[in-house]
């Protein structure tokens, strides 16, 4: 077995037998052994904790007795330790005591010239450290850059998730307020005519509250897609064949069969109803006045739309940033839309049962809002006047 190198021997001699690290502020005792100053002081305190009157101690290594008065700083050993630390900073091979001036690319480690000749590195690709350091530095910088980008993405994702959680908390609070009217069990009302007219009181309460804000909404022909046919009173819209005789207007929806209401809202509370009947598909709600009307149109709140949808395959959906699927117990024949401009709230109600359907997360409306409708085949929409 090969003997230890001089550098290794020096390190062993400079190692404290108590903490097993290079000595810090080395001191010697009467037997000649040396320790870290704090280690030997701690040794005294441990003994005195068990034997308070003890004045003589035994060396941790050779068990020779000594007194605390014999403890002396070992400056020469301290200088030797500093030299060893400097040698470590200069990258000296622990096994051979030679400078680590080569890099083994197969093992990915620094080696000395004697390591290069050893069997474990035979046939490996080696190069001078100064020749390969720049290339590895550039690789490391790329890795650091990628890690920073990933960190930034994680931070942004965390901010987005926090924002969405807060928005959903607002939705939860709004839903609680909307459903508060259902906390009490409704009592049936006897109208004497016969039992088929018994209706829960709360249905009338919700309907009365909503209709106190009801406005008359009619359809704007200038915005209607070419496939939409409007009734003379502009309260009914049906999907049909394309009408080529209509003028070309920037207001008209060109990609999807949509139409806006004539009325615009900037403040206050406004409520309107849409008779969807037995239709198998529709989109309805509100949007800002200047939404996109071509193929780039995206029906989400961040693009100015607050709408819900019925489609054959997926059923009822709230078209939020991430669509929310709605599980309704009863099919609405009439849908009520409540807009609170100051509160930043758009809510939908099933007026067949007087129940709440969905409320969008609180928003800040900075532009005029108008009723919005998308019409599907065989699913006409009708806007009943307020007095019905």
Query: What CA dihedral angle connects 130, 134, 140 and 142, to 10 degrees?
Result: -170
Distance linking the first and last C-alpha atoms of the chain: 105
What is the pTM (predicted TM-score) of this model?
A: 0.49
Q: What is the CATH number of domain 181-382?
A: 2.60.120.920
Question: Where do runs of H (alpha helix) occur along the chain?
Answer: 6-13, 37-50, 75-89, 113-117, 129-179, 201-211
- The reported pLDDT for the residue numbered 245 is 75
Predicted confidence (pLDDT) at residue 1 exceeds the cutoff of 70: no
For the ranges 91-105, 106-120, 365-379, which has the lowest average pLDDT? 91-105
Spatial distance between the Cα atoms of 93 and 367, rounded to a whole number of angstroms: 73
How far apart CA 345 and CA 369 sit, in angstroms, is 12
C-alpha span between 203 and 283 (Å, rounded): 25
Domain ranges of the chain: 1-89, 96-148, 181-382
The residue with tokens 């819900």 is 308
Domain 96-148 listed as CATH 3.30.160.60: yes
Residue 215 has pLDDT above 50, yes or no: yes
Is 8 a residue whose pLDDT tops 50? Answer: yes
What percent of the chain is modeled with pLDDT above 70?
Answer: 88
Q: Name the CATH architecture for the domain at 1-89.
A: 2-Layer Sandwich (3.30)
Q: Which of 182, 177, 205, 220 is nearest to 340 (CA)?
A: 177
Residue 194 has pLDDT above 50, yes or no: no
Q: What is the mean pLDDT of residues 294-302?
A: 93
Mark 253-266 as b/e (b = at least 16 C-beta within 10 Å).
Answer: beeebbbbbebebe
| 108 SS3 class | coil
More confident site: 196 or 223: 223
Concatenating the DSSP letter of every residue in 272-327 gives EEEE-TT-S-EEEEEEETT---STT---SGGGTEEEEEEETTTEEEE-SSS-EEE-
pLDDT of residue 197: 33
Average the pLDDT over 193-207 and give the result.
49
Instruction: Tell me the range of 148-162, 246-260, 317-331 where mean pLDDT is highest.
Output: 317-331
Please tell me the predicted confidence (pLDDT) of residue 199: 40
Taking only the tens place, the pLDDT of each residue in 355-383 is: 999 999 999 998 999 999 999 999 999 99
Read off the DSSP letter of residue 104. E
What mean pLDDT, rounded, does the chain reach? 85
Place of tokens 């006897």: 190
Residue 215, φ and ψ in degrees, nearest 5: -125, 155
Whether pLDDT at 188 is above 60: no
């Amino acid at each position: 077995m090969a003997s230890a190198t001089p550098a290794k021997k020096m390190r062993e001699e400079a190692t404290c037998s108590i903490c097993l690290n290079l000595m810090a502020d080395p001191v010697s005792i009467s037997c000649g052994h040396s320790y870290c100053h704090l280690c030997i002081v701690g040794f005294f305190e441990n003994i005195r904790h068990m034997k308070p009157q003890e004045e003589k101690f035994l060396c941790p290594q050779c068990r020779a007795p000594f007194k605390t008065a014999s403890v002396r700083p070992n400056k020469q050993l301290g200088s030797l330790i500093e030299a060893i630390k400097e040698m470590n900073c200069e990258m000296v091979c622990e096994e051979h005591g030679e400078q680590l001036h080569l890099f083994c690319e197969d093992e990915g480690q620094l080696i000395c010239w004697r390591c290069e000749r050893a069997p474990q590195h035979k046939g490996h690709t080696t190069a001078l450290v100064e020749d390969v350091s720049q290339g590895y530095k550039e690789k490391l910088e790329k890795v650091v850059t990628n890690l920073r980008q990933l960190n930034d993405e994680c931070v942004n994702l965390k901010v987005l998730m926090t924002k969405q959680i807060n928005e959903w908390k607002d939705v939860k609070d709004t839903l609680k307020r909307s459903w508060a009217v259902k906390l009490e069990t409704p009592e049936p009302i006897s109208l004497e005519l016969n039992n088929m007219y018994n209706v829960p009181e709360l249905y009338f309460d919700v309907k009365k509250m909503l209709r106190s804000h009801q406005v008359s909404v009619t359809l704007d022909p200038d915005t209607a897609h070419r496939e939409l046919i409007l009734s003379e009173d502009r309260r009914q819209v049906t999907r049909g064949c394309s009408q080529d005789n209509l003028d070309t207007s920037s207001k008209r929806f060109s990609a999807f069969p949509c139409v806006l209401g004539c009325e615009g809202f900037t403040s206050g509370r406004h409520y309107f109803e849409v008779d969807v009947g037995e239709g198998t598909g529709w989109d309805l709600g509100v949007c800002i006045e200047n939404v996109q009307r071509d193929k780039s149109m995206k029906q989400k709140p961040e693009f100015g739309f607050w709408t819900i949808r019925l489609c054959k395959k997926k059923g009822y959906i709230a078209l939020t940033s991430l669509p929310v699927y709605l599980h309704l117990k009863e099919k609405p024949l009439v849908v009520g839309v409540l807009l609170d401009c100051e509160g930043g709230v758009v809510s939908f109600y099933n007026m067949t049962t007087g129940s709440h359907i969905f409320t969008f997360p609180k928003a800040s409306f900075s532009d005029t809002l108008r009723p919005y409708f998308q019409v599907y085949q065989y699913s006409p929409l009708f806007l009943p006047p307020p007095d019905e």
